[in-house]
Amino acid sequence: MLCEKCKQNNATVHLTKIINNKKIELHLCEECARRTQDISFENPFTINNFLTGLLDSVQGSPLKVDYIQTTTCSKCGMSYGKFKQLGRLGCSECYKTFNEKLMPLVKSVHGSKHHTGKVPKKAGSLIRLKREILTKKKELSRAIDKEEFEKAAELRDKIKLLEKDLESNK
């Protein structure tokens, strides 16, 4: 494929932009891409740049300059602007200080605001059993609320079996 600007060199840079639900694709050679304002070869891709881009995209509206400059962590002194620049927080207190701005990012990346973690297969059999019991109890509560008593009875029986397994594995 030839470069769309100079129509001489092979296109090695492919840029896709979506603005207002309109997709624009550019296929450029490296020389033309370097001359384009939209692409920066000097700033390599880093996780910090990626997170900062995500942070900006989930904010909804641009942050006021005074928030970026004046909001700082009382424990470590990290400013919001410095966090955006570094891509990491200074201490555990930063999570509380910047909570309002961080939670949309956390939710967009993880799909939830709460960390549930993973359980190792070999060492976590008791933990998995406890989680399954909790899940079944929540399902039981919902079934009772919906007056699905047959389903509730099945769940009750499963919970009893799981609790017996839990007791025998202790």
Determine, yes or no, domain membership for 119. Answer: no
Determine, yes or no, domain membership for 10. Answer: yes
**Number of C-alpha atoms within 13 angstroms, CB side, residue 165?**
15
What pTM was computed for the model?
Answer: 0.39
The per-residue pLDDT for 55 is 61
Domain range spanning residue 145? Answer: 125-169
The answer to whether residues 53 and 89 belong to one domain is yes
The per-residue pLDDT for 127 is 82
The answer to whether residues 53 and 23 belong to one domain is no
Determine, yes or no, domain membership for 118. Answer: no
The full length of the chain comes to 170
Sequence-distant (6+) residues with CB within 8 A of 91 are: 73, 75, 76, 78
| Total count of domains within the chain | 3
DSSP reduced 3-state for 119: coil
The answer to whether residues 66 and 36 belong to one domain is no
**Cβ atoms 23, 32 nearer than 8 A:** no
The per-residue pLDDT for 68 is 58
Q: Which residue numbers in the chain have pLDDT < 70?
A: 37-69, 115-117, 119, 121-123, 170
Q: In this structure, are strands 22-28 and 13-19 parallel, antiparallel, or unpaired?
A: antiparallel
Cα–Cα distance for residue pair 163/160, rounded to 1 Å:
5
The per-residue pLDDT for 20 is 84
